[in-house]
């Protein structure tokens, strides 16, 4: 049966009402949120989607706010907030804090997307990182960073990695025959061939970016992915 997943990441205080609306307007079946909420109100919006099939992992900002680790970020400056105000905001809302603390206990999720073992993670399994925990901070700057992730995916039999953190819509694949290819994915769609490994970054939702994966279509053997903008 055909199934649609909406993937979104790096919310950074954004109103996610459009995500909820797309469960109806685009007939989405499941949501995958890849973290960096920043604000309590945004986290509560995601938590309220419990009537739908939702898979949620935290981001490096969420870890930092809950554990009171100071960070400098342009996305926080854009919201006119700093680490100290975020520590207070999360400390003063027990329900939101408990929700985030529970997410941080399971910072990665394994899913099955059309028979493909899929990992949802904010940063990545490898790459370039500034601090620990690396799986929240890993950035992909180069082909070698991608290759490092693909190698670790292969070790763990992972076919698809869904990640955020870098804000830019990106699609990369590695094929047993034709090798590695990376795409600036904004506004494009791709086949996700079952003999390949794929790394997907839907881009930052606070900038309006998201992606939709559609599986088990009657006329296609492989899933497809569409990179979209509000």
> Residue 158 in contact with residue 117, Cβ under 8 Å?
yes
In the chain, domain spans: 3-229
What local confidence, expressed as pLDDT, does residue 219 receive?
87
Whole-model pTM? Answer: 0.97
CATH fold of 3-229 reads Purple Acid Phosphatase; chain A, domain 2 (3.60.21)
Q: Rounded CA gap, 90 and 30, in Å?
A: 27
**pLDDT averaged over the chain?**
96
Q: What is the pLDDT of residues 145-185, one digit of tens each?
A: 999 999 999 999 999 999 999 999 999 999 999 999 999 99
Q: pLDDT below 70 — which residues of the chain?
A: none
pLDDT at 55: 98
Quote the pLDDT of residue 129: 87
Rounded CA-CA distance 112/169 in Å is 22
């Amino acid at each position: 049966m055909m199934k649609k997943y909406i993937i979104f990441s790096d919310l950074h205080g954004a109103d996610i009402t459009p995500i909820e609306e797309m469960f109806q307007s685009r007939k989405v079946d499941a949501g995958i949120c890849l973290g960096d909420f920043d604000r309590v109100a945004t986290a509560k919006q995601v938590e309220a989607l419990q009537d739908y099939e939702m898979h949620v992992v935290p981001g490096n900002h969420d870890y930092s706010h809950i554990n009171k680790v100071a960070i400098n970020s342009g996305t926080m400056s854009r919201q006119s907030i700093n680490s100290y105000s975020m520590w207070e905001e999360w400390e003063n809302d027990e329900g939101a804090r408990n929700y985030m603390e529970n997410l941080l206990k399971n910072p990665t999720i394994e899913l099955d997307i059309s028979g493909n073992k899929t990992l949802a993670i904010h940063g990545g399994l490898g790459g370039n990182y500034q601090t620990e925990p690396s799986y929240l901070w890993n950035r992909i700057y180069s082909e070698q960073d991608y290759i490092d992730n693909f190698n670790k995916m292969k070790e763990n039999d992972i076919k698809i990695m869904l990640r955020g953190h870098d804000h830019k819509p990106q699609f990369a694949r590695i094929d047993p025959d034709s090798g590695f290819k990376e795409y600036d994915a904004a506004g494009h769609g791709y086949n996700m061939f079952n003999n390949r490994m794929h790394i997907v970054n839907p881009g930052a939702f606070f900038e309006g970016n998201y992606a939709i994966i559609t599986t088990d279509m009657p006329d296609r053997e492989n899933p497809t992915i569409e990179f979209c903008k509000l």
